[in-house]
C-alpha cells in the first residue's frame, strides 16, 4: 500500500534519490571524465545500454537468491505486459548487448566501459542510495588471467585519483566445477555447525552458503574461523589462473591482500573476485570479478568468458579529496563580462562567442543592466578581470578590460581582445 503523501513530501526527490548541482554535479562529471580518459588509454571503448532490461536477464544472470534480485529490484510491468526492471547492476545488460550485436564475431576480447545510474531498493544511508552511479569496465570473450589483472589495475588507477589510500582485497572461487564443489563442501560444513550460526545464516545454508562466509553475525563469525577456504579447494587450472593474476598484480605494484571471506553477492562469479576498499572501516568503493558462465545462465548457447568491475561513484566522491575530480568545463572563470545599454547587450553574444572559440572561460549576468551591480557580482565571485562593454564600446568595436584588484583598465579592439586576454 502506498502511504498518502503531503504536498511537502511530493516536492522532495523520492527517498534514496537526489539532485546533483553545483559541486556535486561537477565532481560527478569530473569523475566520469577521468575514468573514461584512463579507460581509453588501456583500450576500453564506451558503451551505453538502456536503464531498463528484461527482468529475466537479471533474475537468471545475477541469480534469484541474491539480495539485489530478491529484495532490491524496481520492477515495472509495461502496458504491453513486458516485465522490465530498472537495472540494479551493469554486467548482465552488457552481456545481453554483446550477444544481441554479435560482438563475439569482433576481434576478441572486447573491452568496454560504461557509466550511469543504477537502482536498488535498499535502506538509504550515507554512501547508500536507491539511485546510485557506477562506472564499469567489462572485458568479454577471453578467459586469460592477464585480463583479470588489467581490470583490477585500471580500476585501481581511477580510484587513486581520489587521493585516498586504496587497498585491493582479492579471492578466487575457482572455475565452475570448483565453485560448485566448494559450495557443497560449505553446505556440509555449515550443516554440521547449524546450531552455532546466526538465525539468518541458518536459513542460507541451502540457498546461498557462500554468503555465510562474509556474515556480519558474531555467532557466524566464530564458526567461520574454521571454515574451509576456496583457495584450499582449487583444481590445477584454477590455481594456475589465480597465480598468474597475482604475478601480474605484483609486476604492476598493486597492493593487494587475499581475503578468504570475499565472495561478493552475485551468483555469476567464478575465479577472481575483488573489491577496492579504503579507510579503517574498510569501506567498499567498488568491486568485480570473472563471470565465465554468465552468458549460458542467461540462455545463450555459447560460453562467453568475461571479467569486469563496477566503481561506486557516489561513495568515491563522498570520500575523495576535494577537487580530486574536476571536469574540463569547470575551470574557474578569470573574466566577468559586463554589458551596458541595448546595443551592447545585443552584441554580447558575439563577444562571448569569441571568448568561447578561444576557450576563455567567462561568466556574466546578462539579465542585469547596472554597472555597479555587475561589478559587485564579479567582486563577490572573486573574478580577477572584468570585460566592460558599454554603448560607446559597442559603437567603436572596443571592450574595456578591467583589473578588479588594481582597479586599472585598458581599452582594446574586439578584434585584439582574445590575444590581449591570453597575455594577461
Which residues of this protein are in contact with ligand AMP, per CB under 6 A?
A: 89, 120, 122, 127-129, 132, 134, 284-287, 310, 312, 314-315
The edge-to-edge listing of strands for the beta sheet with 52-54 is: 52-54, 83-86, 74-77
The counts of H helices and E strands in the chain are 17, 16
What single-letter DSSP state applies at residue 128? B
Q: Look up residue 221 and give its three cell numbers.
A: 563469525
User: What is the smallest separation between the CB atom of 130 and ligand AMP, expressed in angstroms?
Assistant: 7
| Separation CA 267–CA 62 (nearest Å) | 5
User: What is the smallest separation between the CB atom of 181 and ligand AMP, expressed in angstroms?
Assistant: 25
- Residue closest to ligand AMP (Cβ): 312
Nearer to ligand AMP, 79 or 125 (CB): 125
The Cα-based distances of 111 to 106, 128, 136, 197 in angstroms read 11, 28, 11, 42
User: What is the smallest separation between the CB atom of 137 and ligand AMP, expressed in angstroms?
Assistant: 12
Burial class, 231, CB count within 10 angstroms (exposed 0-12 / middle 13-18 / buried 19+): middle
Nearer to ligand AMP, 98 or 129 (CB): 129
Nearest to 256 by CA among 380, 168, 378, 388: 168
Nearer to ligand AMP, 120 or 402 (CB): 120
User: What is the smallest separation between the CB atom of 196 and ligand AMP, expressed in angstroms?
Assistant: 28
Q: Are 385 and 402 in contact (CB under 8 A)?
A: yes
Nearer to ligand AMP, 226 or 281 (CB): 281
The Cα-based distances of 21 to 25, 26, 27, 28, 190 in angstroms read 4, 7, 10, 10, 49
User: What is the smallest separation between the CB atom of 204 and ligand AMP, expressed in angstroms?
Assistant: 18
User: What is the smallest separation between the CB atom of 46 and ligand AMP, expressed in angstroms?
Assistant: 19
Nearer to ligand AMP, 141 or 287 (CB): 287
Nearer to ligand AMP, 127 or 327 (CB): 127
Amino acid at each position: 500500500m502506498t502511504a498518502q503523501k503531503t504536498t511537502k513530501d511530493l516536492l522532495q526527490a523520492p527517498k534514496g534519490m537526489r539532485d546533483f548541482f553545483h559541486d556535486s554535479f561537477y565532481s560527478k562529471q569530473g569523475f566520469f571524465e577521468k575514468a573514461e580518459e584512463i579507460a581509453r588509454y588501456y583500450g576500453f571503448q564506451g558503451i551505453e545500454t538502456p536503464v531498463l532490461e528484461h527482468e529475466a536477464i537479471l533474475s537468471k544472470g545475477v541469480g534469484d537468491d541474491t539480495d539485489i534480485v530478491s529484495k532490491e529490484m524496481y520492477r515495472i510491468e509495461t502496458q504491453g505486459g513486458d516485465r522490465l526492471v530498472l537495472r540494479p547492476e551493469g554486467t548482465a545488460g552488457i552481456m545481453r548487448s554483446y550477444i544481441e550485436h554479435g560482438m563475439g564475431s569482433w576481434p576478441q576480447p572486447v573491452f568496454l566501459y560504461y557509466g550511469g545510474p543504477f537502482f536498488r531498493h535498499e535502506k538509504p544511508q550515507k554512501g547508500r542510495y536507491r539511485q546510485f552511479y557506477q562506472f564499469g569496465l567489462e572485458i568479454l570473450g577471453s578467459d586469460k588471467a592477464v585480463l583479470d589483472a588489467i581490470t583490477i589495475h585500471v580500476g585501481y588507477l581511477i580510484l587513486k585519483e581520489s587521493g585516498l589510500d586504496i587497498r585491493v582485497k582479492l579471492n578466487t572461487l575457482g572455475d565452475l566445477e570448483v565453485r560448485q564443489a566448494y559450495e557443497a563442501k560449505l553446505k556440509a560444513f555449515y550443516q554440521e555447525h547449524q546450531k552455532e550460526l546466526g538465525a539468518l545464516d541458518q536459513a542460507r545454508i541451502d540457498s546461498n552458503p557462500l554468503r555465510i562466509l562474509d556474515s556480519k553475525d558474531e555467532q557466524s563469525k566464530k564458526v567461520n574461523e574454521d571454515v574451509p577456504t576456496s583457495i584450499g579447494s582449487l583444481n590445477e587450472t584454477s590455481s594456475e589462473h589465480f597465480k598468474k593474476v597475482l604475478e601480474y598484480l605484483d609486476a604492476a605494484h598493486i597492493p593487494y591482500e587475499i581475503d578468504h571471506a570475499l565472495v561478493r553477492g552475485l551468483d555469476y562469479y567464478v575465479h577472481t573476485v575483488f573489491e577496492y576498499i579504503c579507510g579503517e572501516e574498510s569501506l567498499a568503493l567498488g568491486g568485480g570479478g570473472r563471470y565465465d558462465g554468465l552468458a549460458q545462465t542467461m540462455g545463450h548457447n555459447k560460453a562467453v568468458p568475461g571479467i569486469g568491475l563496477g566503481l561506486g561513484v557516489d561513495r568515491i566522491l563522498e570520500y575523495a579529496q576535494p577537487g580530486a575530480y574536476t571536469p574540463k568545463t569547470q575551470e574557474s572563470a578569470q573574466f566577468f563580462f559586463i554589458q551596458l545599454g541595448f546595443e551592447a547587450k545585443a552584441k554580447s553574444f558575439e563577444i562571448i562567442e569569441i571568448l568561447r572559440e578561444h576557450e576563455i572561460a567567462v561568466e556574466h549576468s546578462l539579465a542585469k543592466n547596472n554597472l555597479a551591480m555587475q561589478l559587485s557580482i564579479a567582486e563577490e565571485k572573486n573574478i580577477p578581470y572584468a570585460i566592460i562593454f558599454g554603448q560607446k564600446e559597442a559603437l567603436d568595436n572596443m571592450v574595456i578590460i578591467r583589473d578588479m584588484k588594481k582597479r586599472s583598465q585598458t581599452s582594446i579592439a574586439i578584434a585584439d581582445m582574445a590575444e590581449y586576454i591570453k597575455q594577461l
